[in-house]
Structure 1
Amino acid sequence: MTEGVSRRGLLGGAAIVGAGALAGVTGSAGTAAAEPPLDTPFTPVSVPHLLEAEQMVQYQRLLAAGHLPADLAGHWPLDGSPADRSGGGRALTLGPNATWSALRAGGELTLDGTTAYAATTSVVDTTAPFTVSAWVRLAPDADTTAMQTAVSQDGTTASRFLLQYDDNAGTWVFKVRSADQSSKVSAVASSPVALGVWTHLAGVWDGTGIRLYVDGVLRGSADTGLDWAATAGFNIGRARWNGAYVNFFDGAVDDVRAYGRALTAPEIALVAGRTARENNVYLIGSPSSVTWGRPDDLTSWVAHARCSSFLTWVLRHTYGWATDDYFTANFQDRIPEAADYRKAFTDGTAGPRLRRIRKVADLRPGDLIAVDYNGQVEGSTGHIVMVREVKGVFSGTADFTGETQYAVEVVDCTSEPHGVYGLTNYPSYPDTRMVSRTDGENFEGVGYGHMMFYASDATGEFSRYRWSVNTGRTTAEKLTVADRPIAAARVV
């Protein structure tokens, strides 16, 4: 779904005021009655192509989360809780002025650079290979002339290792020290730190050397055999030197992990979310490729597609009838564009397996909704989604006289998430690809999101749409069916 501008630029003032009121789909005052149900029953769990689409989405979500449980010694998502999700039971204790914040979806721990920290007992055996990782963000006004440590594990005098910003280098480093503080070895990144930007750091010691990965890419390494047991505690946001705590972190830290082994480069790419960005791509200008992989190999799940090709591949993967011959005969293309789907749905030429749904209130899980851009967007004919759930009638934001607005959870492949994280009504209608409000930090490709579809009160048929609950009324005024035709169909 490419509009040429950021969806954030399309927001109107009304989009950020209130969450709107949600009611049931049936029995809403002023709405047209639904047509008698078609012969495809309302049984979401038995809609085969929806299940296949959901399976792909769930594996892409695991990739985006950096799911890697093997040898996980400690895991603190820092989503408003100090809990250790690894099963190790090492909950954090928060120090003064350490606060929960919500810069990213799920939340993180914000530290003041002076006294704030979080700590627990020592987590990894530092005499054996280990890995430590975290998402970090130096505050926009952080003092770059001061050393700041995101994660460390300490002895009684000094930190055994430090994942930190080093003011002398002006960048991220992974550092190890001797127990008596007489020596240190650093793996130093090659690029300067950008303030106010989320960055994934991972430090690895394999017994003979250290490696520093930044955003899933190896950026520094050094040989070292330094080997001693650090048993005085695991810290987020500070380090130890001369027996005192120093180098307090000014910024935010998220998703801290410790592994009892040296992760490989592909594993680091997975933990950092880099593999997710490579495997789940909104693709334009190249042949699409969608692969349902193996349950024991997250990296084998791949979706390189745009909206229409993704849903075409879902149908192909699910049904024996969804062949090249079927699509060519009914859509004149083996992988139809969104506008091709819309026209065929409207004209009744989509073949015997796809039956048109006219009324928004008749939508069921698994139905396809196609929007035709009508030549308005260069490089894109439209957008097509699969219904995951009709959440109900929505009101209070971007309402239009004579029309009823429905909140619809969809499965699709998109270049931008459906929504803006952090706005008032986003939490009730989220998108799985959303990470933060900052452009470039969010994921693209396949996932769940929410779109708003309107029905004419006179006919019950589609009248317009909005990209998300956060798209403003001004934008929706231009997204009527006269400007951009809409049609839906059900697999029968």
Structure 2
Amino acid sequence: MAGVVSRRGLLGGAALVGVGALAGVVQGAGTAVAEAPLDTPFTPVSAPHLLQAEQMVQYQRLLAAGHLPDGLVGHWPLDGTAADRSGYEHPVTLGSGATWTTLRAGGELSLDGTSGAYAATGSVLDTTAPFTVSAWVRLSDAASLSTMYTAVSQDGSMVSRFLLQYDDAAGTWAFKVRSADQSTKVSALAANPATLGLWTHLAGVWDGAQIHLYVNGTLEGSADSTLSWAATEGFNIGRAKWNSAPANRFNGAIDDVRAYGRALTADEVAVISGRTARANNVYLIGSPSSVTWGTPDDPTTWIAHARCSSFLTRVLKHTYGWATDDYFTQYFQDTIPEAADYRKAFADGTAGPHFRRIRKVTDLRPGDLIAIDYNGQVADNTGHIVMVREVKGTFTGTADFTGETQYAVEIIDCTSDPHGVYGLSNYPAYPDSRMVSNVTGENFQGVGIGHMMFYASDATGEFSRYRWSVNTSKTTAENLTVTDRPIAAARVV
């Protein structure tokens, strides 16, 4: 970002001249030589409240990624590479019917249902001891619901020891275990029919006495089973084994495959499925907000149930001793001001001694707050407020206006509507951490990092309008001038 000095600049003599600490540095045999002046002003790379907001966002991202390393013996994110990220070095080899695709953020492995539709490696799990296997799965729109498809298996010489799969006879998802001679089968079935084209998280657990099938983090089927034998013939993504030959090739896409050398608990399955992430990070209207900074070793203790204004207010209260209920009541007439309250106080200069108005877009720094007043245009919503993470620079080519310069600004906020549309050509350069795909209902809400577009008047440099994201058009209702929706920014001091 323009205005941020380099690490060299921060440590060199020139960075200290401005605060009267040092006028020069010693060079050679005692010769004092003045440092060349910095070509950018000294600008803090962060602010205390930005660090606290960042912490909350990063823990929510850990939860969204299903962070759970304990007992992990195989992990294939399938993000365009065949690597095993568990540290146990079990990369998979792709068959001819397996290709890398990008239906979801990060990508996945798509399989065409042919004999080459698989990715395989050596055996990963000790299947004589409790274990867990999980994956995100999606049956292709062209798949047949009258055909069996296996997403994950580990094989013996004749048959798969376990199968995480779609069962055509039941018409739903299943987790199965078999005897080595394939004479015995035990199944745990999902409660509802499988749907073509829908991403679903499956987890199969064997605890030594029972098998359990979790669908999207919820236990849906269990069955007694003490079957125990070592499957040493390889771990497969996208196929199974029956009668000593490959079977049940998958037709669809598979993502984030994991193998744990232990039986995960229900709470742990909720973590790896993203269920906990959705419960902990909620855009909340009509209920008291709650933002909890948890313990570093337990992402599940980090909770954000808030809307844009209550999240940022609670960040300030968590960070600064002055940010009390009394302060906000005195200067904003509310212990949790609305976005419109912030905007008005910033513009009027009535936000108290700890906020300084920033008028020009180019003067924005990390940690600054930008508040938008919706002017009564949205029911039950006074506006939106965000925290600046970085001004990415000018932006042209989409939704340009004569006499105005457009800036891409990376922000932290709490929202029900991520800032962007996954899959569009300009989205990758300006993403949103809550975005999963372009399918309604798959994206996360709550706190995260995104990008908004703010415009400055060429005549004054002050805010002239905004866009919700790089993906909104020139004619969208979210592309509004400050006359329609007033904007004001402030720095925390």
TM-score, scaled relative to structure 1: 0.92
SS at 1:373 equivalent:
strand
Which one-letter code corresponds to 1:186 in the other structure?
S
Separation in 2 of the partners of 1:358 and 1:292? 32
Shift of 1:477: 7.8
Give the corresponding residue for 1:285.
286
Which one-letter code corresponds to 1:250 in the other structure?
N
1:221-270 CA distance string (max 9 Å, x none): 00000000000000000000000001000000000000000000000000
Give the corresponding residue for 2:225.
224
Separation in 1 of the partners of 2:395 and 2:419? 16
Which one-letter code corresponds to 2:312 in the other structure?
L
Give the corresponding residue for 1:329.
330
Separation in 1 of the partners of 2:71 and 2:2? 46
SS at 1:418 equivalent:
coil
> Is 2:172–2:193's contact at 8 Å kept on the other side of the alignment?
yes
Separation in 1 of the partners of 2:195 and 2:183? 31
Shift of 1:140: 1.1
Report the structure number with the largest CA radius of gyration: 2
The alignment covers a number of residue pairs equal to 457
Higher relative contact order at CA 8 Å, sep ≥6: structure 1 or structure 2?
Answer: 1
Give the corresponding residue for 2:171.
170
Separation in 1 of the partners of 2:478 and 2:191? 49
SS at 1:284 equivalent:
coil
Alignment of 1:64-463 (within 5 A): 64-115=64-115, 116-463=117-464
Separation in 2 of the partners of 1:189 and 1:444? 27
> Is 2:467–2:478's contact at 8 Å kept on the other side of the alignment?
no
SS at 1:56 equivalent:
helix
SS at 1:395 equivalent:
coil
Separation in 2 of the partners of 1:100 and 1:460? 45
Give the corresponding residue for 2:473.
472
Give the corresponding residue for 1:53.
53
Report the CA distance shift for 1:397/1:24 in structure 2 as closer, same or farther (over 3 A): farther
Give the corresponding residue for 1:62.
62
Which one-letter code corresponds to 1:300 in the other structure?
T
Gaps of 5+ in 2: 5-40
Which one-letter code corresponds to 1:65 in the other structure?
A
Give the corresponding residue for 1:18.
none
> Is 2:163–2:177's contact at 8 Å kept on the other side of the alignment?
yes
Which one-letter code corresponds to 1:78 in the other structure?
L
> Is 2:308–2:384's contact at 8 Å kept on the other side of the alignment?
yes
1:263-309 CA distance string (max 9 Å, x none): 00000000000000000000000000000000111111000000000
Separation in 2 of the partners of 1:250 and 1:465? 43
1:204-233 CA distance string (max 9 Å, x none): 000001000000000000000000000000
Separation in 2 of the partners of 1:210 and 1:477? 50
Separation in 2 of the partners of 1:58 and 1:71? 23
1:356-401 CA distance string (max 9 Å, x none): 0000000000000000000000010000000000000011111000
Separation in 2 of the partners of 1:385 and 1:477? 15
SS at 1:79 equivalent:
coil
Separation in 1 of the partners of 2:140 and 2:478? 39
Which one-letter code corresponds to 1:231 in the other structure?
T
TM-score, scaled relative to structure 2: 0.91
Separation in 1 of the partners of 2:267 and 2:210? 18
Separation in 1 of the partners of 2:2 and 2:318? 33
Which deviates more, 477-486 or 371-380?
477-486
Separation in 1 of the partners of 2:97 and 2:145? 21
> Is 1:124–1:259's contact at 8 Å kept on the other side of the alignment?
yes
> Is 2:150–2:248's contact at 8 Å kept on the other side of the alignment?
yes
Shift of 1:44: 1.9
Which one-letter code corresponds to 1:178 in the other structure?
S
Shift of 1:117: 0.5
> Is 1:339–1:372's contact at 8 Å kept on the other side of the alignment?
yes
SS at 2:376 equivalent:
coil
1:142-168 CA distance string (max 9 Å, x none): 111010000000001000000000000
Gaps of 5+ in 1: 1-22, 27-39
Which one-letter code corresponds to 2:59 in the other structure?
Y
Shift of 1:97: 1.8
Shift of 1:141: 1.7
> Is 2:304–2:446's contact at 8 Å kept on the other side of the alignment?
yes
> Is 2:466–2:478's contact at 8 Å kept on the other side of the alignment?
no
SS at 2:49 equivalent:
helix
Shift of 1:328: 0.3
| RMSD over equivalenced CA pairs, Å | 1.4
Identity score, percent = 77
Shift of 1:478: 4.9
SS at 1:212 equivalent:
strand
Shift of 1:190: 1.0
Which one-letter code corresponds to 1:125 in the other structure?
D
Shift of 1:481: 0.3
> Is 1:25–1:391's contact at 8 Å kept on the other side of the alignment?
no
Shift of 1:475: 1.5
Which one-letter code corresponds to 1:286 in the other structure?
S
Separation in 2 of the partners of 1:195 and 1:485? 45
Shift of 1:41: 5.8
1:170-220 CA distance string (max 9 Å, x none): 000000000001010000011000110000000000000100000000000
Separation in 2 of the partners of 1:247 and 1:53? 47
SS at 2:476 equivalent:
helix
Which one-letter code corresponds to 1:53 in the other structure?
A
SS at 2:475 equivalent:
helix
Shift of 1:24: 6.4
